[in-house]
Amino acid sequence: GEDVEQSLFLSVREGDSSVINCTYTDSSSTYLYWYKQEPGAGLQLLTYIFSNMDMKQDQRLTVLLNKKDKHLSLRIADTQTGDSAIYFCAEGSARQLTFGSGTQLTVLP
Amino acid sequence: AAGVIQSPRHLIKEKRETATLKCYPISRHDTVYWYQQGPGQDPQFLISFYEKMQSDKGSIPDRFSAQQFSDYHSELNMSSLELGDSALYFCASSLGGDQPQHFGDGTRLSIL
């Protein structure tokens, strides 16, 4: 079955870049997603990448996809305290999403 | 543009009671999905509907049922509630089954 894995924690200093990594197993995924969840809040779609792309950039966010290694990363440039949250990687196929366990990003002043 | 709307935002029930959660998708979106997120866990897919027909089924208990109506809104019906049903329930919608899913803010269900 599908499996999505992420490291659980990441701490960075304000102004530095953050890189959150994710690996997945289902090569039939059409899209791969990054969602942000703040405490007690919903899932905010940050960005997504179509499976035939290698990279997507959206303002401070850069998504890199290595299909051969089934590895997805999210880079946040100039990380701010408001970026502190849990970041979920998800892969989408067959009309449902499978989420990773989430990476808790802590931004230190 | 309005996003996915879920109601209620919070719901408190007792064991063995029933609950109904509602989801109003983004305008023109024809596919809705339900997910359950337990405390400290990642969201788990429950069920989805495309054009008012069930399209996929995940880890939805037999005590739960759902449907999508002619106006594309969806309801998740939960019966014989158990303590373990306490969770955040998300609805998501998309235009077609293979397009990005947009999530609502969720309904927090607490079972006492």
For B67-74, what is the mean pLDDT? 96
At residue A22, the pLDDT reads 96
For A15-21, what is the mean pLDDT? 97
Q: Give tens-digit pLDDT for B12-66.
A: 999 999 999 999 999 999 999 999 999 989 999 999 999 999 999 998 999 999 9
The model's confidence at residue A2, banded by pLDDT at 50, 70 and 90, is: low
Q: What is the mean pLDDT of chain A?
A: 91
CB contact under 8 A, A95 and B97: yes
At residue B65, the pLDDT reads 96
CA–CA separation, B63 vs B54, rounded Å?
Answer: 16
At residue B100, the pLDDT reads 86
Cα distances (angstroms) measured from residue B85 to each of A35, A58, B12, B81, B110? 23, 37, 11, 7, 8
Give the torsion through C-alpha atoms of A48, A54, A58, A61, to 10 deg.
90
The answer to whether the Cα torsion of B48, B50, B52, B57 is positive or negative is negative
The model's confidence at residue A94, banded by pLDDT at 50, 70 and 90, is: low
| Nearest residue of chain A to residue B95 (CA atoms) | A95
Residues of B in contact with A98 (CB under 8 A): 45
Residues of A in contact with B90 (CB under 8 A): 42-43
User: How close, in Å, is residue A85 to chain B by CA atoms?
Assistant: 13
Residues of B in contact with A44 (CB under 8 A): 103
Residues of B in contact with A94 (CB under 8 A): 56
CB contact under 8 A, A88 and B55: no
CB contact under 8 A, A95 and B31: yes
Q: What is the mean pLDDT of chain B?
A: 94
The answer, yes or no, to whether the previous bond of B8 is cis (omega within 30 of 0) is: yes
Contact A86, A73 (CB under 8 A): no
CA–CA separation, A37 vs A5, rounded Å?
Answer: 17
CB contact under 8 A, B42 and A33: no
User: How close, in Å, is residue A109 to chain B by CA atoms?
Assistant: 25
HSE-CB at B2 with a 13 A cutoff on CA atoms is: 10
CB contact under 8 A, A30 and B98: yes
The model's confidence at residue B76, banded by pLDDT at 50, 70 and 90, is: very high
Candidates B42, B47, B33; CA nearest to B87 is B42
